[in-house]
A and B are shown apart, each in its own frame.
Chain A
């Protein structure tokens, strides 16, 4: 365990980045603030063009912020060139030097730091062992596979023992199986080295399985920061709820708030209990989200009622699309068992049961 678990490795304070000028200018980042703790696996998650890679490049020093500060352990690094920052990057394309061997690639950073030859040699050997590439140390980088190149890129970035490791969608070029393997490998490396990882991805599953905390980004803003559990179960905004996993949106009137819970009156007239963020003001037409696997379908009466419109079989589970009497659409995910079917048929009149801890009220 880290000594001071709450120390911040990186603090991004009101950072904006504007590309271009005049009418063609684009705000890639719009007054973003976020703190990344020491030793954590922090993920920037969002669709392409949301500004996640821009933020990473600002931390690495490849671009400079238009406004704001970036602090590394309290020191403002925003004006420093990349080669003066104790931060290393694993590039999406790996960017291995084609004219050098695997070992020379890994040792490059240490060599540039002016470390003694013996120390470089020992450290390179250690890194090769860490990523299990000892046998290929003398190869050219063009002579190894994509997965191996990925490992070399990791070893190269870890060798100088950076204070923070930045990873720019490093797994996107790998096939599915290798990606799964590398996800576990990355977690192991982060654990063994104790280095703060900042990981950029557009893959929500990757983010959920690997991260200690996730920042969801959209259009140059950070919408929500929290643990994978927070992000999935308590999405604050419509975009977050929609981008991560599948979800149902229901219009509801919110009233009687206490202890983070509220009464939500749905269009059907039924009331359910929903989790609500602090400081939320009661209003008549808020949005409530319910994950498909947190609702239950019944032939009796439920909080909602409707007609089964479509049944989609997924192997592990079945998705049942229900056209609600209120006109809204609702999906229920039901775990499959081996013997029976899902128990419902197209056109069935059904009720939907929403448990006490299933609904979340969105901020907007």
Chain B
């Protein structure tokens, strides 16, 4: 006869096993949904492009070679693919500048919100989330309307006599930057606000009391304490900015491409699916490396709350 303890243990073991079995279908779907498409992309990146935009099942490292290199049409010598490198660098530059711009705009905004009374804070939070209600494409076209040559900004400046000819903002890197900064600003404000709201403002008073000027209080007390929010916000802005597609294609006019536009081109007009796949994976690797470096660096002097 089994003792009561053994019976209980067996029942528990059965219980655990049943739980795994019951959740197995869901786990399987999630696993496949997450890794399946990525695997297909990875496999495609090692195949040969077909003539009509599909792939031929023939191994070729050519796509990976052309991510950064270019084969001369006549003598097959390899040289740096200037166009790709430019687009990579522009994308990274624009994403970094967008992150900095949203930080510069978002930090004071979050500070302002966190220092309001509790009731009005909710109202500000609500106002910050309003842009999310509108489709990204529509918001981007709204920005286009504002900055185009016949748009509000140029018309106003012309009427006021400040400029004599419209400033060309649309279809420049500046336009992309304005659009992305506008679209991603809430993603920077919200995490910083969450950290800022927890900040004990008596510490700020203590700083002033101990002869710290306003700037020193910001640098030595407020910033270190809301750093987790700044890190989270930067990640939330940088990643989608690097992969932004709609904003650069609408505001950059297809001339100033970013990575997503380049990738899209390979699957569309370019009819080079393997190159598109290789580029996609290259972007993922860049993001991962950048994130690891950033988090490790920021974490060194990071603050633990509580």
Which A residues are closer than 8 A to B by beta carbons?
A: 60-62, 81-84, 87-89, 91, 93, 95-99, 108-109, 112-113, 142, 156-157, 160
Contact = CB atoms under 8 A, between A and B. Distances in A.
Interface stretch (B118-126, B175-183, B198-206): B198-206
Contacts of A61: 208-209
B306 A142 contact: yes
Given A93-B202, A95-B202, A99-B225, A82 B303 contact: no
B210 interface: yes
A98 B225 contact: yes
B209 A112 contact: no
Contacts, number: 62
Contacts of A95: 200, 202-203, 205-206
B74 interface: no
A82 B205 contact: yes
Contacts of A88: 209-210
Contacts of A156: 210
B210 A99 contact: no
B221 to A, nearest CB: 6
Contacts of A87: 209
Contacts of B224: 99
B213 interface: yes
B209 A82 contact: yes
A87 B211 CA distance: 9
Interface string B74-96: 00000000000000000000000
Instruction: Name B's interface SS.
Output: helix
A60 B209 CA distance: 7
Residue of A93, A97, A157 with highest tally of chain B CB at under 10 A: A97
Interface string B208-243: 111111001000110011000000000000000000
B206 A112 contact: no
Contacts of B303: 98-99
Contacts of B213: 83, 112
Contacts of B205: 62, 82, 89, 91, 95
Nearest to A87: B209
Nearest to A86: B211
Contact of B211 (A60, A93, A113, A142): A113
6 contacts: A83-B210, A84-B211, A87-B209, A91-B202, A95-B200, A112-B216
Nearest to A113: B211
Given A112-B216, A142-B306, A83 B225 contact: no
B210 A112 contact: yes
A62 B206 contact: no
What range describes how many residues of B lie at the interface?
10 to 19
Given A109-B211, A113-B211, 14 more contacts: A62-B209, A88-B209, A89-B205, A89-B209, A91-B205, A93-B202, A96-B206, A98-B203, A99-B225, A108-B220, A109-B210, A112-B213, A142-B306, A160-B211
A97 B208 contact: no
Contact of B212 (A62, A96, A112): A112
A89 B207 CA distance: 10
State the 5 A-B residue pairs at the shortest beta-carbon distance, nearest first.
A109-B210, A95-B206, A112-B211, A82-B208, A95-B202
A217 to B, nearest CB: 22
A95 B202 CA distance: 6
A248 B212 CA distance: 51
A97 B202 contact: no
Contacts of B212: 83, 108, 112
Nearest to A107: B210
A17 to B, nearest CB: 17
Contacts of A112: 210-213, 216
A326 to B, nearest CB: 52
A109 B216 CA distance: 11
A91 B206 contact: yes
Given A97-B221, A142-B306, A83 B211 contact: yes
Contact of A160 (B203, B206, B210): B210
A156 B207 CA distance: 11
A323 B219 CA distance: 67
A108 B209 CA distance: 11
A61 B205 CA distance: 10
Nearest to B211: A112
A97 B203 contact: yes
Given A95-B200, A99-B303, A81 B208 contact: yes
Contacts of A109: 210-211
A160 B209 CA distance: 11
Contacts of A160: 210-211
A83 B202 contact: no
A98 B208 CA distance: 16
A97 B206 CA distance: 9
Nearest to B208: A82
Residue of A62, A89, A108 with highest tally of chain B CB at under 10 A: A108
Contacts of B208: 61-62, 81-83
A112 B213 CA distance: 8
Contacts of B203: 95, 97-98
B108 to A, nearest CB: 20
B120 to A, nearest CB: 16
A202 B58 CA distance: 86
A95 B206 CA distance: 6
A330 B272 CA distance: 102
Contact of A83 (B200, B209, B220, B306): B209
B210 A108 contact: yes
A244 B225 CA distance: 43
A236 B14 CA distance: 82
Contacts of B210: 83, 88, 108-109, 112, 156-157, 160
Interface string B284-303: 00000000000000000001
B216 to A, nearest CB: 6
A108 B216 CA distance: 11
Contacts of B202: 91, 93, 95
A19 B205 CA distance: 19
A84 B213 CA distance: 9
Contacts of B200: 93, 95
